[in-house]
Structure 1
Amino acid sequence: MHSTLRQRTTRRTHTKNRAAKTAAAVLAGALALTLTACGGDDGKDKEGTGGGTQETGSTVTLPKLDGESLEVSAVWTGPEQANFKKVLAEFEKRTGAKVTFVPAQDPIINFLGSKIAGGEPPDVAMLPQVGAIKQAVDKKWAKPVGKEAQEQLTKNYSQGWQDLGKVDGTQYGVYFKAANKSLIWYNTTVFDNAGATEPKTWKEFLDTAQTIYDSGVTPVSVGGADGWTLTDWFENIYLSQAGPEKYDQLAKHEIKWTDPSVKDALTTLGELFGKKDYIAGGADGALQTDFPTSVQQTFTGGDQPKAGMVFEGDFAGINITQAKAEIGKDAKVFPFPAVGAEAPVVSGGDAAVLLKDSKAGQALLTFLASPDAATIWAKEGGYLSPNKSVDLASYPNDVQRDMAKALIDAGDDFRFDMSDQAPQAFGGTPGAGEWKALQDFLKNPKDVAGTQATLEADAAKAYGD
């Protein structure tokens, strides 16, 4: 569930430090001003080409694929899977193709490897990591994006989001789902009862946590059973504290995890993890709590939930809704607090990659690169699209509309999730690499040096250093 935004700092190292900081400030400022305030297409037909037909109100021409079938694999479960199936159902309706969703397990590269070894790979896979796209290309599994899909990408996506799907200059991935992973959601009843206010800095965040604790509610819920949530904690602190240039260097392992900047970030994170009374269930409880539960337990239990705040991306909205809490009323959100000069802005996403080069598979990538496909899921909530042609009115509430606008307005100046850029063995495997090291750190946040040493050893092995 990595979109789930895994909902995870672009490799665009040519983006200048100042531009990145300015964009981060603009995006964080936009979020601060708008996220707590709650309350594309031109609709014209176009002539089909290449045997395709054009639905009324659609923006993309798709071929007729009667009698053809394809399989699509992703790690999405629950509402995410259900909403994606609605997208696939529309593709079936427009083309006549039969699409089967194949549930995958983490790490998806291993899952795909077993499928390919058995001679039964899916036609398309939704990959939640930049590193996974590169691995799929290196293994010669991935097929390049075709002309029609590239036309949609060029028309609807910023260069930064296109480049994330490229390997050595060739387009392989279509980023269909994005995430803003620099958000903290809070229970408004808890904040009101405690007299707490939205913090803007890390110090203010810790002060707010103390205020909530003093009111009789545990401040923070952590889904530590899912190691990726812990990497997101680290990445936001590191980006804000060390800055974009260092972030880019660490993402590519150009500097070691034993660098003093990593020590500083872990020490800062330890200021929260070291306060066991601040975390629902303490470290042991957090390590047994998956991400959906970490969100839901923040918004159930009346005025005595298990926690007052929970960190994660916009996709947490799905779990908030499942807890029968109303976004904008029962649940509000503020940007991840600034540790350094600027508040961090970390993005993540899931890209469609073709494993079988067929007419049907290429047509699905074309559809997923269009605003038509993104609009279907946008209306369901718990989703952000990097597609700049999606009408903001498609999103179900002001909170999500503001998140989507901030994402699009950031253009190319954002940072993509660091662990998702890493080789999957280091940045995306349960019980191993960065996930395991940070789970161990949650249990023992005083062991900064030991955590750094473990991270560096695992990174060096994964990067082949």
Structure 2
Amino acid sequence: MRSLKRSGLAGAAVLLAASAALAGCADDSENDGGGSAGGTAPGDGKAECEGMTEWGDLTGRDVTVYTSIVAPEDQPHIDSWKVFEDCTGADVKYEGSKEFEAQLQVRVQAGNPPDIAYIPQPGLLQTLVGTGKVVEAPEGVSENVDEFFGEDWKGYGSVDDTFYAAPLGANVKSFVWYSPKMFADNGWEIPETWDDMMALTEEIAQAGDIKPWCAGIESGEATGWPATDWLEDVLLRTGGPDVYDQWVNHEIPFNDDAVVEGLDTVGEILKNEDYVNGGIGDVKSIATTPFQEGGLPILDGECALHRMASFYAANWPEGTDVSQNGDAFAFYLPPIGDEFGSPVLGGGEFVAAFSDAPEVQAFQTFLSSDTWANEKAKATPGGGWVSANTGLEISNLSSPIDQLSAEIFQDPDAVFRFDGSDQMPGAVGAGSFWTEMTAWIAQGQSTEDSLTKIEESWED
């Protein structure tokens, strides 16, 4: 295990302890304002606890964690904290809820927030910071993020240039799912450029046996969100990261010419009756096909390609061999030209704190370290989790798709951008953007009309 001192834990703890001593509360077990708890931690002197004992004895102190991650996905998180609890004496109490986003805001407004919350969108973090209840991240967390994540990720955890929340888990959205067996049987090569991918698309369409693509954007009240991912991924490739950032921040209108070009490029696939919707129906069927089922025709040999995030791995039926030579796997959605490097669209969670008690700051710092990332990987033997933490050892990930995701995150040439709709005002990112993209598919609404209606819904 890599030393947590290298990850900034010890440095932050020394600063905290010094601050506490100056305040005359270095041995105050009731201290709720940061600093050291005093005493000797249970793991003091143990190699596996190096860097986690600097806050003193945290025995009897609870850290409450509130997230949207519910059973059975919660258990690997709980298991990943064992070393922290053993070394510090603190007890981490987990609570997951399907109503997390709404209930977290209610609890914060009522003055009953958790100590720690896993925030899935930068936009929600900004809203919570606006309440004045989120505590600025301690120095050790900031140092860890500088070392293991970088400037882009730190920016997503910041509001008005103040850093609050370190990244936690992450997912890659820039994937195209396919069948390695189908590709091998047909002699198809994984495309490395957009032109290669479109040439393959046309080759499959001309053969006439199957449709090149399949897709589904139905998701109950959230219907349309997979189509927003399509536009975000393509705009990163046609307009580049700077234009993408301007669009997300509404520094250019939603219907800017660059965005029109991006959506028209998406339409070359999703609105082409010759290319979609393999094994399901026509173009309009995309809007009524649950996103969980969108790629399944690949297994029946009815379509060849399906653009969807890394988390789609969980949607393949039990017994599906998800591997490089198996029934299903994914390749990186290729760049369009070479001007903008290797763009990566993704998402993830951020760790926000509502308390600066020593046990909370200790746990925050632990979660931002490379040590926790590797503990979490080892605690998730079934796969389905990855982090953008560059200290994560890829060999600790059990799933081939998780390993591929980690390789993409750790590629020095990758240009990462967070899901755009998750950063927009809720009325747009979780409202008009979804509905108008659905109308673009289901009603044949034009690109210009769809983007203009979204622009008109944006209130600055």
- Pairwise same-fold verdict (TM > 0.5): yes
Amino acid at match of 1:457: E
Aligned match for 1:335, one of 316, 332, 335:
332
Please name the residue that 1:309 is paired with.
305
Query: Identity of paired residues, percent?
Result: 24
Indicate the residue corresponding to 2:348 in structure 1. Answer: 349
Using the alignment, how far apart are the partners of 2:309 and 2:144 within structure 1? Answer: 26
Q: In the alignment, is the contact (CA less than 8 A) between 1:59 and 1:371 conserved in 2?
A: no
Distance 1:169 1:262, change over 3 A: closer
Name which of 90, 96, 99 aligns with 2:93: 99
Q: Deviations over 1:109-148 (max 9, x none)?
A: x332223344432222211222222221122231111234
Paired residue secondary structure (2:322): coil
Instruction: Report deviation, 1:358.
Output: 3.2
Secondary structure of 1:348's counterpart equals strand
Match of 2:48 in 1: 57
Residue in 2 that maps onto 1:138: 130
Equivalent residue number for residue 278 of structure 1: 276
| Aligned partner (choices 236, 257, 262) of residue 254 of structure 2 | 257
Q: Is 1:191 equivalent to 2:183 in the alignment? A: yes
Matches within 5 A, 1:295-444: 297=296, 301=299, 304=300, 307-320=303-316, 322=318, 324-330=320-326, 331-341=328-338, 342=340, 344-379=343-378, 380=380, 381-396=383-398, 400-410=402-412, 413-427=415-429, 429=430, 432-444=431-443
SS at match of 2:410: helix
Report if aligned partners of 1:196, 1:211 keep a CA contact under 8 Å in 2: no
Q: CA deviation at 1:44?
A: 10
- What amino acid is the match of 1:74? T
Residues 4-83 of structure 1 aligned to structure 2 (within 5 Å): 41=2, 50=36, 51-52=40-41, 53=43, 56-57=47-48, 60-62=51-53, 63=55, 64-77=57-70, 80-83=73-76
Query: Given the two structures, how large is their TM-score scaled by the length of structure 2?
Result: 0.78
Instruction: Compute the displacement of 1:256 (Å).
Output: 0.4
Distance 1:220 1:60, change over 3 A: farther
By how many angstroms is 1:314 displaced?
Answer: 3.0
The answer to whether the 8 Å contact 2:5/2:51 transfers is: no
Q: Which moved further from structure 2: 432-441 or 75-84?
A: 75-84
Instruction: Name the CA distance, whole Å, in 1 between partners of 2:195 and 2:146.
Output: 42
Q: How many residues in Structure 1 have an aligned counterpart in Structure 2?
A: 413
For 1:126 and 1:348, the matched residues in 2 are separated by 13
Structure 1 CA distance for aligned equivalents of residues 318 and 265 of structure 2: 32
DSSP-derived class of the 2:48 partner:
coil
Structure 1 letter corresponding to 2:209: S
Q: TM-score under structure 1 normalisation? A: 0.77
Cα displacement string for residues 262-291 of structure 1 (whole angstroms, at most 9, x for unaligned residues):
111111211222135612534565444444
State the superposition RMSD in angstroms. Answer: 3.3
- The answer on whether the counterparts of 2:171 and 2:386 sit within 8 Å (CA) in structure 1 is yes
Q: Deviations over 1:286-331 (max 9, x none)?
A: 4444444445x256x5xx1564332223333344585532322223
The range that moved more, 355-364 or 52-61, is: 52-61
The one of the two structures with greater contact order (alpha-carbon pairs below 8 A, sep at least 6) is 1
Select between 180-189 and 60-69 the one with higher mean Cα deviation: 60-69
Report the alpha carbon displacement of residue 245 of structure 1 after superposing the two structures with TM.
2.5
Residue 208 of structure 1 corresponds to which residue in structure 2? 200
Greater Cα offset, 246-255 or 305-314: 305-314
Q: Which one is further off, 239-248 or 68-77?
A: 68-77
Contact 1:158 1:412 in 2 (8 A): no
Q: Which has the larger radius of gyration?
A: 2
Answer whether contact 1:221 1:308 (CA < 8 A) is retained. Answer: no
State the distance in 1 between where 2:71 and 2:62 align. Answer: 24
1:69 partner letter: D
Question: In the superposition, relative to structure 1, how do residues 357 and 42 fare at CA in structure 2: closer, same or farther (>3 Å)?
Answer: closer
Q: Is the 8 A contact 1:219 1:278 kept in 2?
A: yes
Structure 1 residue ranges (4+ consecutive) displaced by more than 6 angstroms after TM superposition? 43-49
**TM-aligned CA distance change 1:112 to 1:288, over 3 Å:** farther
Q: Output one character per residue of 1:313-356: Cα deviation in whole Å (capped at 9) or x when no partner.
A: 33333445855323222233222133344553223321111133
Q: Aligned in 2, Cα 1:423/1:393: closer, same or farther, shift over 3 Å?
A: same
DSSP 3-state at the match of 1:215: coil
Which structure 1 residue ranges, 5 or more long, are not aligned? 1-39
**1:128 counterpart residue number:** 120
Q: C-alpha separation between the residues in 2 aligned to 1:298 and 1:78?
A: 29
Q: What displacement does 1:97 show?
A: 0.6
Structure 2 Cα separation of the partners of residues 306 and 56 of structure 1: 55
Distance 1:349 1:307 in 2: 29
Measure the CA separation in 1 of the matches of 2:191 and 2:301: 20
* Distance change >3 Å, CA 186–CA 399, structure 1 → 2: same
Contact 2:373 2:391 in 1 (8 A): no
Q: Check conservation: 1:156, 1:389, Cα contact below 8 A.
A: yes
Aligned-partner Cα distance in 1 for 2:306–2:351: 29
2:160 counterpart of 1:168: yes
The one-character-per-residue Cα deviations of 1:178-221 (angstroms, maximum 9, x if unpaired) are 23321112112333344433233445434434555523366323
Which residues of structure 2 form unaligned runs of 5+? Answer: 15-35
Report the secondary structure of 1:275's partner residue: coil
